[in-house]
Amino acid sequence: MKVALVTGGSRGIGRACSVKLAEMGYYILINYQSNETEALNTLAMVREKGSDGEIIKFDVANSEEVEKNITAWQESHPDTYIEVLVNNAGIRKDNLLVWMTDEDWHKVLDISLNGFMYATRAVLNGMLKKKYGRIVNMVSLSGLKGLPGQTNYSAAKGAVIAATKALAQEIARKNVTVNAVAPGFIKTDMTQDLDEGELKKTIPMNRFGTPEEVANVVAFLASKEASYVTGQTISINGGLYT
Ligand code: NAP
């Protein structure tokens, strides 16, 4: 059994990644924070692809919860290990910095940045021992170029891009790769409140992307074929200049 863990796998891009990795034959651990119904819907889609998986509830921003859940899963499955990790869970709390609250600053960093660290640390030993692993971090256009109204989100994603480069060098010899993908505007619950009609005019492809278009790139980075790619950030943004 080959196992992949997708954080925030219940909806949007994380769901598309779960389904795509299932197509590649992975058993999927679908992490979610609160929306069990949607996590179960993702599981049903995974099964439709002829694979299997399970839902696993934890808040990626809570170090103890992450460690406890991942360790418990590993201990009850001693014959296998998590060989693919997609650090996808993330939220937006946009505001101009002058009006940004401590809470909205920390919440966004806690989930995207600390969540990356807690989940990665929890699975890394298994990958290093087996001398094979794939880590893919979901970052953003915002983390590459910075977007006004998103200093918290840009800081979180920019930090994960830097961490991707550092960790890639730490573990490259063990055949464990770490890469990031940076979507532009993708049609999910997260972008529902945006003015798509106006924003798409700024995108050379004149449309928002789909979660599946992001998942296709994640799938490549998670595959054996991506064996000599590490420390990279790949943009998926319809040609938006970064
Ligand atoms: P989404 O539709 O809002 O889904 C977010 C997912 O993250 C849900 O599965 C949610 O779980 C989970 N989640 C949120 N907080 C969590 C926590 N503390 N612990 C565990 N899971 C948590 O978002 P999306 O658009 O698919 O975004 C996915 C990733 O892509 C994020 O990192 C986002 O920053 C990044 N991204 C998105 C876009 C875009 O245009 N959509 C662009 C660039 C980057 P529940 O269902 O339980 O709430």
Q: What percent of the chain has pLDDT over 90?
A: 99
CA of 88 to the centre of ligand 1 (A): 6
Confidence of residue 240 (pLDDT cuts 50, 70, 90): very high
d(CA 48, CA 83): 22
- Tens of pLDDT, residue by residue over 56-89, are 999 999 999 999 999 999 999 999 999 999 999 9
Q: Which domains does the chain have, with CATH numbers?
A: 3-236 (3.40.50.720)
Q: What residue type is 164 in one-letter code?
A: T
- Tens of pLDDT, residue by residue over 140-184, are 999 999 999 999 999 999 999 999 999 999 999 999 999 999 999
Find tokens 């945006």 and name the residue.
194
And the tokens for 42?
Answer: 């993702």
CA of 12 to the centre of ligand 1 (A): 7
Residue from 32, 92, 136, 191 whose mutation best tests the ligand 1 pocket (most atoms within 8 A of CB): 32
d(CA 79, CA 221): 25
Residue 132 appears among annotated catalytic residues: no
Confidence of residue 241 (pLDDT cuts 50, 70, 90): confident
Considering 27, 81, 118, 153, which one is annotated as catalytic?
153
| Helix residue ranges per DSSP H, the chain | 12-23, 36-48, 63-76, 102-109, 115-130, 141-145, 151-171, 196-199, 211-222
The closest-lying atom of ligand 1 relative to the alpha carbon of residue 12 is 26
Residue with the smallest CA separation from ligand 1 atom 31 is 90
Q: What pTM was computed for the model?
A: 0.98
Confidence of residue 33 (pLDDT cuts 50, 70, 90): very high
Q: What residue type is 18 in one-letter code?
A: S
Q: Provide the 8-state DSSP code for 223.
A: S
d(CA 183, CA 180): 10
